[in-house]
A and B are shown apart, each in its own frame.
Chain A
Amino acid sequence: MRISTSQIYDSALQGMERSNSQLLKLQNQLSSGRRMLTPADDPVASARALAVTQAREVTAQYARNQGHASDRLGLVDSQLSALNDSLQSVRSRVVQAGNTVLADTDRQAIAIELEARLDEMLAIANSRSAEGDYLFAGFQGATMPFARSAATAPTGASAVAYFGDDGQRLLQVSSSQQMPSNVAGSDLFMNIREGNGLFSTAGGGNGGLANQGSGSIDAGSVLDHQKWQDAINTAFPWQGTNNRSLQVVFSSGTGGTTYQLFDVSTPAPPSAPLPPLAVSDVRPFSPGQAIPLRTTAQPPAAPLSVDFGAQVVISGQPAAGDTFAVRPSANKSVFQTMDELIALLRSPLDSSTARGDFASQLQGHLSNLDQALAKVSRVQSTVGAHLQELDSLSSNAAALDIQYQQTLSNLQDLDYAQAISNFTRQQVGLEAAQKSFVTISGLSLFNYL
């Protein structure tokens, strides 16, 4: 083929230009360290790189959230420990107060200490985070959650009320998990079941007075949860819908002391309350005996025999007409328990009746305190479990981050060895082109003319 001189120049120039642009691209790749300079270099990889970058950033945000949750839960945990210590110390003081050799002044001294403990608990309950929001207020971080409500006439007593809510402040700690970073004060301090958690027991009085005998009732024990639940709701034909509870009534018969169970539920207002209804036969009683909460058919009023799946133990010697109430547990705040304890310890014990009542009441409060302690340890273990979970999530996030970095690097980072080798090859090629061009362009017949 015939080659024109300008063709030699043009094509050499084009070749060198191509080499130059290749070198420029390689140089850009080398200086930026990236394989893809524009999406056109690898459209699929660049789209994937975007997705991976987002996933990585989201994981980094989760890691920050985990740190935040961990800080918050750590704070809650330390407050829970303080609360636990405080409750433990209250409990040992209450056990001490049950000692019959103590004088009224000793009990008053304990009451004063308990008052200090109560203030301490209130301070814990109203503690704030570093940002200034209340830890135990649910959603309402700016509202002081625990305060004494206005005094109620005529007793002058004022109970600690909760002004927060049940809200859980959730943080997104992984793609599929939201973790609460707080504990609602209602759960921790207010919603504490009295008694044994399912039902509570108390002396029920005798004809408008306190019980006259020395009998005291324990917290009771549940043998079958489901039976209790069924009996309270459906299985037992209560005479009313409200205040569904049983009463143990003592009387003295020919063979000694006897007891009988009564249904003391009442219909919903405005209907008039009904008198207690006997729901079991009269049974003999010996002190310290376990009394099964089982009704027997009393036709025609109470036609069914129902097992409540629970029993109570009454020790001491109840007098005829003494009653003990067994009712489903309601919530009692730890502050109310404390208030009642303090009032109990301040009242003098001047008769054997008062002593029997004192023992009964103290027993009740003790079991309420145990419920509060159990609640605190349950919450503490939940918080601990969350903290542990956060630790594993955080190491998981770190591993994920490394994985994403690796993927990103595979997608967009430059293989330096290959790039430098390519660069050198291009360089050699360009130099060869330049030298050969100079040589060829120097070749001319005119040189010999």
Chain B
Amino acid sequence: MKARSGSINSYAEQIGSLNQQIVVAEAATGQPANDLLDTRDRLVAELNTLVKARTTTNSDGSYNVFIGSGQQLVVGPQVMRITTTPSSADPARLTVGLSTAAGVQEMPEALLRGGSLGGLLQFRSESLDQASNDLGRNAASLALTFNAQSALGQDLLGQSLLSSSSSFSPNFFSIPSPTVIANTGNPPSSPTVSAAFVTPPPFNGNFYTDLVNSDYRLDSDGSSVTLTRLSDNKQWSGPGADVAVINVQLASDPQGFTLAAGPLLAGSSYLVQPTRAAATDIAVNPAVAADPSLIAAAGPIRTSTGTANTGGATISAGSVGPGYPAAVGGIPISLVYQAGELRNFPVGARVSIDGGAPVVIGAPTDGVAYTSGATLTLLGSVASSPPTGFSFVVSGLPNNGDSFVIARNAGATADGRNALALAQLQTQATMSGQTDSYQQAYAQLVSETGSRTRQIQVSAEAQTALLEQAQASRESLSGVNLDEEAANLIRYQQAYQASARALQIGASLFDTILALGQ
């Protein structure tokens, strides 16, 4: 972009100086300065290969050159410079601006079409940005879901979320938070806005994210705040200057992140890039990388049937969901079967049968009706749908007094249940609001990039054909055909020879006549 804007400036200067020379030359001779005009036309044509430019002719024969939506590049002999400048919305990237007396004035990228500069900008905004956002979306989703599942496990040292004080590392990957860039034109002392991924991500059988591959813009006009998704201009808006109203809306229409900021000032604008940096900066948590025994491969809870049981019922190994530490507060829990009920749940716990409305346990003697094979879920205090916590199944024929123990999984060095759950993420629907797997989302990116490339190849072929047609037409009018020239040459040569012959004949006639007079 820098090289191209340099070339554009140099063309503009040449056109400007030619404008001056043409005016001077034509004023001096009163004749069109054809050579200079040709050179200027050639320069304008070459300028057009860099950026689409339009010209108008002044009464004195000089050209005005405009780019974009009418920004003056050359007016008669005067030349404006275009320059690359850090974008005010995102200082990390260059954009094109017009140098004016008041400073650099940014040009909207959407208006700079055509030519190789327009192509570069278009490639950046339509392909590169989306591809890097999409890669970032994959990386962020992988990290968020993996971390959340990892947090439900237990490492080789027996540490889990149930450990009171420990060096348990729930995060397997580290990823950067969503980037929020304050516009450089914001009013002074504007508050800092930050964004955070929704952690843990939503859970419905498995973890998934709602991230999309777009950037967002947060605007405040003093009386309302608006979040705009830049890919399709969908807006979330609310009164006041607080982003909390936006967060409320994002809770029901999740985009995978939330915002945090002080009261926004009128006229301020922020660019939110949820996933742009995620693919670049994703890394394995250094603590886990340094000590593989911190990988949470085991399940945190194990179950067993009482050794003194006389009935034939068994309890399944069980599975944990988000919020399980609160659900199994009274661990170890020893459930007792008595008179068709399972009793001895911790007081205050809530138990859901097959995902139904939870039963609140008020006293240890409060029972939950026993159905062989039903899924019981111990719930924490947070209501969630579907119910998550610790789920297990008791099946078979128990006798009164049979016990079923739910305990921490101490010393479980050969347990790989959480590792299995982590591995299953690979094929589960973990992205785009639980519709795509990682692979499907990536395949979409590849297929989109492929189609776009194909589309561009096809239009390039069509444009080339058009160019060839145009050149052919021009050549057929103004081009040189050597055979034609040769033929003309011969024709003129013959005419010349004929004229010379006539002259020779005339000369000999004169000679003869003059000789007659001697």
Contacts and interface: CB of A to CB of B under 8 A. Distances in A.
Contacts of B411: 139-140, 142-143
Contacts of B416: 169-171
Nearest to B315: A166
B149 interface: no
A6 B426 CA distance: 60
B42 interface: no
B417 to A, nearest CB: 7
A138 B486 CA distance: 99
Given A39-B453, A328-B310, A331-B309, A4 B479 contact: yes
A329 B181 CA distance: 72
B450 interface: yes
B347 interface: no
B451 interface: yes
Interface in A115-155: 133, 137-143
A43 B480 contact: no
B400 A449 contact: no
Interface in B453-480: 453-454, 457, 468, 471-472, 475-480
Contacts of B310: 232, 328-330
B375 interface: no
B302 A46 contact: no
Given A233-B400, A241-B400, A2 B447 contact: no
B507 interface: no
B439 interface: yes
A58 B339 contact: no
Interface string A188-206: 0011000000000000000
A165 B304 contact: yes
A47 B444 contact: yes
A166 B305 contact: yes
B163 interface: no
A272 interface: no
A317 interface: no
Contact of A4 (B338, B481, B489): B481
B453 A6 contact: no
Interface residues of A, number: 62
A32 interface: no
B304 A444 contact: no
A41 B444 CA distance: 15
Contacts of A133: 413-414
Contacts of A11: 468, 472
Interface string A1-28: 1111111001100100000000000000
Nearest to B445: A47
A54 interface: yes
A331 B483 contact: no
Interface in B53-69: none
Contacts of A229: 311, 397, 399
A47 B447 contact: yes
Nearest to A169: B414
Contacts of B400: 232-233, 241, 244
20 contacts: A2-B477, A2-B479, A2-B481, A3-B479, A4-B476, A5-B480, A6-B475, A11-B468, A14-B468, A43-B448, A46-B446, A140-B414, A167-B317, A170-B420, A171-B420, A190-B307, A191-B307, A444-B482, A446-B482, A446-B486
Interface of A: 1-7, 10-11, 14, 38-44, 46-48, 50-51, 54, 58, 133, 137-143, 165-172, 175, 178, 182, 186, 190-191, 229, 232-234, 241-242, 244, 328-331, 443-446, 449
Given A43-B451, A139-B415, A443-B483, 14 more contacts: A3-B479, A4-B481, A39-B446, A40-B457, A41-B450, A47-B446, A142-B411, A166-B303, A167-B412, A171-B416, A178-B420, A331-B307, A445-B486, A449-B489
